[in-house]
Structure 1
Amino acid sequence: METFPAPDDIRGKTADILSALSVDNIPERYGFTAELASLKNCISEDEYCNMEFYETGCAFLKALLRTRLRLKKTDPAHPLLPVISSSVEELRTQLKENEAYVRLLIGMDAVSRRVGVMNVSLLGLTAVMILIIGGTVLAHVWF
């Protein structure tokens, strides 16, 4: 059976990523506090907006990739490098989950339109059949 991503799972896992990066003043030290704050605001809102999550998540991912590249150039054995690298991979996974969620919503919207058209046509056919049956019954009664 196919499983679909849930927005609450995406929010929860992203919150775990952000809490892992909030230790040891990593955002302040490497200069991505604004991106971190905007992503925290995005996932803490009541209603999940997949486009806003995508935009802020990509901005945060870009900041993390810059930080990782800077650390690899200056100190390849830096102790925070594995934490940042794993956070980059986990954030990529969450962005892919968000994309799958968006595709699911688009698919549901497309199916609901087709089903709506099909329901209207079936309702029309049912009405025509009722009229035909009613007409034959009336014709039998009158003649």
Structure 2
Amino acid sequence: MDEKRIAELRKFVNTITDPKISAFLDLKKLCQSGIYNLAVQMATDHAAKHHDFSYLDKILTLLEGTNHLSDFISSLRPKLNFVITDTKPRRIKKATPEQVAKAAKQALNKPVAIKSASTKPAKKKSETKVSLDLMDSRLILPGSYGTGRRR
């Protein structure tokens, strides 16, 4: 990539990770876009060349807690040797192949929490639907205009 394109992609990463803007983003559409893929590629190349994971950390923070995080991490695995810290905020660190294998082994041993219907409370109060329509009101006197009959 040329320097002009790299500068545009760096500006793009800084823009989408800005908290004022990231709240309005649809992450599903973002992760499927071509410019996002180019930005991840630029950040990966930057990390491989300079050992600076700052752009990848910004994208990791943006995708934290979503389904798209695992796709992001799996796209980086073949290109970089890294581990993700357990502390908040999570960061990407350079690692040796042994550390990567150990982290992958720990990830396989961790139980995955799945939200299901059985985790919801057994009893749920049924909410009565309150109608705001005047025709459904009991305040209308029988025999008067607008007695509540619908045609």
Structure 1 and Structure 2 fold alike (TM over 0.5): no
TM-score by length of 2: 0.29
TM-score by length of 1: 0.30
| Structure with the larger RCO, 1 or 2 (CA within 8 Å, 6+ apart) | 1
Which protein has the bigger helix share? 1
